[in-house]
Homo-oligomer: A and B are copies of this chain.
Amino acid sequence: MNTQIKLASRPEAAPTHDTWSIETSPIPTPKEGEMLVKLLYLSLDPAMRGWIKDVPSYLPPVQIGEVMRALSIGKVVASNNGKFPVGTYLSGPGGAQQYTTINGRGWHPVDPSLVSLPVYTSTLGMPGMTAYFGLLDVGQPKEGETILVSGAAGAVGSVVGQIGKIKGCRVVGIAGGPEKCKYVVEELGFDACIDYKNEHVYKGIKKHCPDGVDVYFDNVGGQILDYALGNINFNGRVAICGAISQYNSVDMVGPKNYLALLVQRATMQGFVVIDYIPRYGEAAQEMAKWLMQGKLKSKEHIEEGIENFHETFMRLFSGEKRGKLVLKVGEDD
């Protein structure tokens, strides 16, 4: 049988159990030209909160009654399509379910002998691509500059900081709690990490970025964005990747400090990683090389069981995770 997570209602604020319905139906049969994919890992990403809002955005909203949109890693278990043979591991938009039939568009093969499968949802998946292009293309760091990154222990932030170090920058993270901060500095090699749960972030930035902030990579929005703007350097760049502090808010808070952009002749630019799909290959090749060389560490937080979708998803907002959040929904048998 195939267990699916469907969107049951749109949450005003934080999602609840009522947001989803869990349904079970027979495993679908691939039609002519289709493949049956058994999903092994679902990628759980903050962007998913945006996909269930009924507002125009870069992708159409998931409709009530539809299977929740999710990126995934799966394996071809039956095929009426010559594109990928049975046994091929694939990455693509499988949705929050255990099986799906696909025609292959939007999917690409991944090699489990190179790195473990969950890494393809992480450093070699959307979060890694987001970090790579958001930092290098939008942030444009130069050697010796200071990069500040929020959500530093998360799937995107951890990669942003590591790439920043590879590029010869001073890198300061912001994360929640001493354990995450220790991980960010000692395991990931950031120069410093500010614990927003226990330190005053503005003072922390002043202390750890004595030459100011040249690039701020923002994953969180809210008050921390204001503190970063208050320390932005002349001609600084703010890359707006996300605003997880605001996603469950009914009333958005904007950056009060945005006139720092004027005083400092700075730029705040938004980006969405799917624009870079034509260049994913280039990034994946370079990041795979860094992974092999040990210059880049990839960490995944893996939970298990499609029935735990909601509880696992909510860890994105509570921060109870370390590294990329992944839900294992099938055995590779």
Q: Interface of A with B (CB < 8 Å)?
A: 56-58, 221, 226, 240-243, 246, 251-272, 275
Q: How many copies of this protein are present in the complex?
A: 2
15 A–B pairs (Cβ distance < 8 Å), ordered by A:
A57-B263, A58-B263, A226-B254, A240-B262, A243-B259, A252-B256, A253-B256, A254-B256, A254-B258, A261-B269, A262-B271, A262-B272, A265-B269, A267-B269, A267-B270
Query: Smallest distance from the beta carbon of A230 to chain B beta carbons, Å?
Result: 10
The distance in angstroms between the C-alpha atoms of A253 and B258, with both chains bound, is: 9
- Asked if B265 and A261 make an inter-chain contact with CB atoms under 8 angstroms apart, the answer reads no
The distance in angstroms between the C-alpha atoms of A262 and B243, with both chains bound, is: 10
Query: Smallest distance from the beta carbon of A248 to chain B beta carbons, Å?
Result: 14
Most chain B C-beta atoms within 10 Å of own C-beta, residue among A253, A256, A260: A256
Among residues of B, the one whose C-beta sits closest to the C-beta of A258 is B254
- Asked if B252 and A262 make an inter-chain contact with CB atoms under 8 angstroms apart, the answer reads no
A263 proximity list for chain B (CB < 8 A): 56-58, 270, 272
Query: Smallest distance from the beta carbon of A310 to chain B beta carbons, Å?
Result: 24
Query: Smallest distance from the beta carbon of A235 to chain B beta carbons, Å?
Result: 10
The distance in angstroms between the C-alpha atoms of A313 and B264, with both chains bound, is: 26
